[in-house]
Structure 1
Amino acid sequence: MAAARPVKLAANGIWKLFAADGAALDRLGPDPDDAALERAGLVAGVADASLAIGEGEIFVIMGLSGSGKSTLVRCLSRLIEPTRGQVLLDGQDLTRASPAELIRLRRHKMGMVFQNFALLPHLTVLGNVAFPLEVQGVARAERTRRAREMIALVGLSGREHDLPHQLSGGQQQRVGIARSLAVGPDLWFLDEPFSALDPLIRREMQNEFLRLQAGLKKTIVFITHDFDEAIRLADRIAIMRGGRIIQTGTPEELVLHPADSYVAEFTREAPRARILTARAIMRPLDERIEVAGAVDAGAKVQAIAAKVEAAPIPHLVTEGDRPVGLIDRSAVLAVLLGREMVR
């Protein structure tokens, strides 16, 4: 996340206990570990989770089934109540918001898309997309106009009068996305929205998602258990295990500097050529060495591999107009061969 990007959503020390209240947690002190929880017979869906998500960032939360990722997102949106901790949206503490204020925030500032499309079967595409605007009390002409805009945005123009059962799975998910965008949310929660789709449609929906984000620049919290999907979409990733956030970082940071063996195993088969940049594998600058050309420091190895590998001498690595290092065919081949050996 860029340093200048303001924080849109923050969580400070979020806990969610099942079948217990805050008093049970308070008796264990400010930061109980897993052993203390087990001795007390407490089950934590989320344990002491803190994060800060920047405005316009795609922030992916991932982990295996039961890791707590969906529970954390429901705490962030206050669909369920955290046992302890603070959630801040634009500086407003959601844990102190009244039910009426939460309804207002969800209607006007939050969009949500889940794995289950949850379309209303008796409503057309247009009716489904316009439904949240109807709930807001928006006049018919205005909600129809906005719904048509969103339908066009997700590429379903011409299907406005179809019912959900007349659509493919991918088209139904597009309707769900259009519906969530109709209210113009600042913050968009997506909980494994593509996991029920077959691989080809899933890839298509990922492309559609990136296309939408390029224009809309929403702040997005996206849940997945698929690391390949995460690295395609994420600015940063938080990896969870047992209700705790183990590490947060860019895909490159997670691959190069895993916090522990769990993260290392999670990223072991990651396609490094698609993740690592020239900056990550360059060697120190030496002005005495002749170069074949220049590559951008932020370019992915996959994008520059053919160019660098074909040259008998190194390429200069630059940030803007400033030279910062050198990259040669051996460094590129090490990444490519390493990826193949993992497979």
Structure 2
Amino acid sequence: MDAATCEPATTGAEATPVFSVGGLWKVFGPKGAAAKVPGSEHADLPAAELRERTGCTAAVRDVTFDVRKGEVFVVMGLSGSGKSTLVRCLTRLIEPTAGTLAIDGEDVLAMDAGRLRSLRRHRAAMVFQHFGLLPHRTVMDNVAYGLEIQGVSRAERRARAADMVAKVGLEGLEDRRPGQLSGGQQQRVGLARALAADPEVLLFDEPFSALDPLIRREMQDEVARLHHDEGRTMVFITHDLAEALRLGDRIALMRDGRIVQLGTPEEIVGSPADDYVRDFVRDVPREQVLTVRSAMRPAAVGESERGPALAPTTTVVDAIEAVARSGGPARVVERGRCLGIVDDAALLAVVAGLPAATRREVAA
């Protein structure tokens, strides 16, 4: 294998996105005035000035993104950034003002009431921050409630509910009522209820923000485990950067209703789009997020055959340890193919936050 083999392989055409969102707006205010904001001279006004001139609030402004099948797509931002409004627009729990919206290529905005009910019951299930459990029903009956609404027989819905209760670790608690459960257990009931409908995509609206840190971590582990086991598509809303970096395959960072940067956790941390994003990620330990892809260089003749092999997803902190143990450069290898080489100088340049161009000079 020579240096020429250390080039990334190309990928084929991607499948139809689960959700495809284009130029989406949600403007609150007088109906006639709200409908006129997108595309008008008022569209780019700051929030306060827009309210003063039109009486409207633009919660979502000209948002465009795709959600790929099987990914965890995280939308994050501070309070008031528009993230919760956006996720509700995906199933028209809140009606968008303008733009395009499709699920598996089907126009969501053109759906009639029947198709919308089907979308919400079978294809996209929501897990809310405030669990929404029925206090007079048991855990089992709460989990089965959505299936009951769908008209599923009692025997089938109880069997499916029992499977979901076991899946989220609530065995033995089937006959308890919500008031007898901890906050984390109640959130597991809400998750099991969403899973019972076997939806194509799970929508999470800040589901763990009311939980204490330890239970929140446990629930993050649970979501990560379910995604690993099932590969189910998830859209996850959060204001917590650590949570977004931990769970997200890609992150859309919102501010004032707009997406200011969309990318992988590594792209968000390693190449902030502007000062706002840079401030957001300032305290993130870069070496725990960035991977060896950000530090590798092409292999010289013979280098692709020696040194420890690292996966492209290896974090910089783990790569530094591997290089230190070996006493020399390491190979970045994927499916038996050498993608590049990393050494201690380039890895430390990444940790120091040097610009990409400088890192390339160091790596060379």
Judge same fold: TM > 0.5, yes or no: yes
Report the Cα offset of residue 255 of structure 1: 1.8
Whether contact under 8 Å (2:254, 2:261) holds in the other structure is: yes
Alignment match of 1:121 (pick from 128, 132, 135): 135
Which position in structure 1 is the counterpart of 2:158? 144
1:220 aligns with 2:230: no
Normalising by structure 2, what TM-score? Answer: 0.87
Distance in structure 2 (CA, Å) of the matches to 1:75 and 1:324: 41
- Measured in 2, the distance between the counterparts of 1:28 and 1:50 equals 14
Q: Give the drift of 1:257.
A: 2.1
Tell me, in whole angstroms, the C-alpha distance in 2 between the residues paired with 1:27 and 1:45: 12
1:272 alignment partner, one of 286, 309, 316: 286
In structure 2, the CA distance between the partners of 1:96 and 1:316, relative to structure 1 (3 Å rule), is same
Who is 1:235 aligned against?
249
The Cα shift of 1:23 comes to 5.5
Deviation at 1:335, TM superposition (A): 4.4
Equivalent position of 1:21 in the other structure: 31
1:318 and 2:318 are equivalent in the alignment: no
- Counterpart AA for 1:315: A
Structure 1 position 197, deviation (Å): 0.9
Q: Which runs of 5+ in 1 are unaligned?
A: none
Matched residue type, 1:327: V
CA apart distance, 1:305: 2.9
Secondary structure of 1:85's aligned partner: strand
Task: Output the amino acid matched with 2:322.
Answer: K
Deviation at 1:319, TM superposition (A): 3.0
Counterparts of residues 101-180 of structure 1 (less than 5 Å): 101-180=115-194
What is aligned with 2:14? 4
| Backbone CA RMSD of aligned residues | 2.3
Instruction: Find the partner of 2:315 among 296, 300, 312.
Output: 300
**Pick aligned residue for 2:44 from 23, 33, 44:** 33
- The residue that corresponds to 1:287 in the other structure is 301
Q: Which deviates more, 285-294 or 121-130?
A: 285-294
1:26-51 Cα deviation digits (max 9, x unpaired): 36636832258465453200011111
Task: Measure how far apart 1:25 and its partner are.
Answer: 4.2
Shift of 1:284: 3.2
Task: Kindly indicate whether the alpha-carbon contact (under 8 Å) linking 1:59 and 1:236 is maintained by their aligned counterparts in 2.
Answer: yes
User: 76-85 or 312-321: which moved more?
Assistant: 312-321
Structure 2 unaligned regions, length at least 5: 1-10, 355-364
What's the CA shift string for 1:225-262, capped at 9, x where partnerless?
11111111111000100001111111111122222111
With structure 1 as the length reference, what TM-score do the two structures score?
0.92
Identity of aligned residues (%): 52
**Which amino acid in structure 1 is aligned with residue 20 of structure 2?**
A
Cα displacement (A) at 1:178: 0.1
Output the CA distance in 2 between the equivalents of 1:314 and 1:335. 15
* Partners of 1:122 and 1:111 in 2: CA distance: 22
